[in-house]
Homo-oligomer: A and B are copies of this chain.
């Protein structure tokens, strides 16, 4: 039975899982979840993901949710296939990958998610962005990107001179962020910009980007 990803191609967290599947060259079925009909808050979907968020994932009898844990499962199951995303053959290398994955989760994700929601999702719902909130979050994101600029002056990717899950996890929100008037936060930092240009030109990211468009 094929792997099933329940979600939407335009959802950042769904895209994170799809990216991982493409890096591993693993077939999957994307099962659409109609969020406009609030299908993600109905009992069937809640039995897959009790938090009612996208995505959910099925591999035979195994059901998972939370995009980053699904990515990790795929990286472990298909360890010998495609891109080596966790560098788990070397404890030290994997520890550095894990550190930058945690940086994404605990430093980068919250501000960029808020900015993307305010500048891209709000207008789709006819709402004005909260400019003060965007500026506050841009200040936080800027401090994070300053650390990235320093880090990426020393190695090509966040965890070393190889592409890993740490880079992959950043991609979906960056796609949307780069379409906002705030994209200069990336392009004005030479090493961050070179990293962005590199990770966004991989076959997997090019493919998944096609779906990362608001309706």
Q: Which residues of A contact B (CB under 8 A)?
A: 50-51, 62, 64-66, 68-69, 72-73, 76-77, 91-92, 94-96, 98-99, 101-103, 105-107, 110, 144, 147, 150-151
Among A62, A92, A95, A101, chain B packs the most CB atoms within 10 A around the CB of A95
Q: Which of B76, B95, B98, B105 contacts A106 (CB 8 A)?
A: B105
Could you show 11 A-B contacts with beta carbons less than 8 Å apart? A50-B147, A51-B103, A51-B144, A64-B95, A66-B106, A69-B98, A69-B99, A72-B98, A76-B91, A76-B94, A105-B106
By secondary structure, the A interface counts as helix
Contact call B51/A73, Cβ cutoff below 8 A: no
Contact call B50/A102, Cβ cutoff below 8 A: no
Among A91, A94, A96, A99, chain B packs the most CB atoms within 10 A around the CB of A99
Known: A69-B102, A102-B68. Contact between A62 and B107, CB under 8 A?
Answer: no
Contact call A151/B50, Cβ cutoff below 8 A: yes
A-B interface, 4 closest residue pairs, ranked by CB to CB distance from nearest: A66-B102, A69-B98, A69-B99, A73-B95
Contact call B110/A91, Cβ cutoff below 8 A: no
Contact call B101/A73, Cβ cutoff below 8 A: no
Q: Assuming A76-B94, A105-B106, A110-B110, what are 7 further A-B pairs, CB within 8 angstroms?
A: A50-B151, A64-B95, A64-B99, A66-B103, A68-B102, A72-B95, A72-B98
Distance in angstroms from A113 CB to nearest chain B CB is 10
Which residue of B has the minimal Cβ distance to A109? Answer: B106
Determine the distance from Cα of A106 to Cα of B67 in the docked complex, in whole angstroms. 10
Which residue of B has the minimal Cβ distance to A106? Answer: B66
Contact call B91/A147, Cβ cutoff below 8 A: no
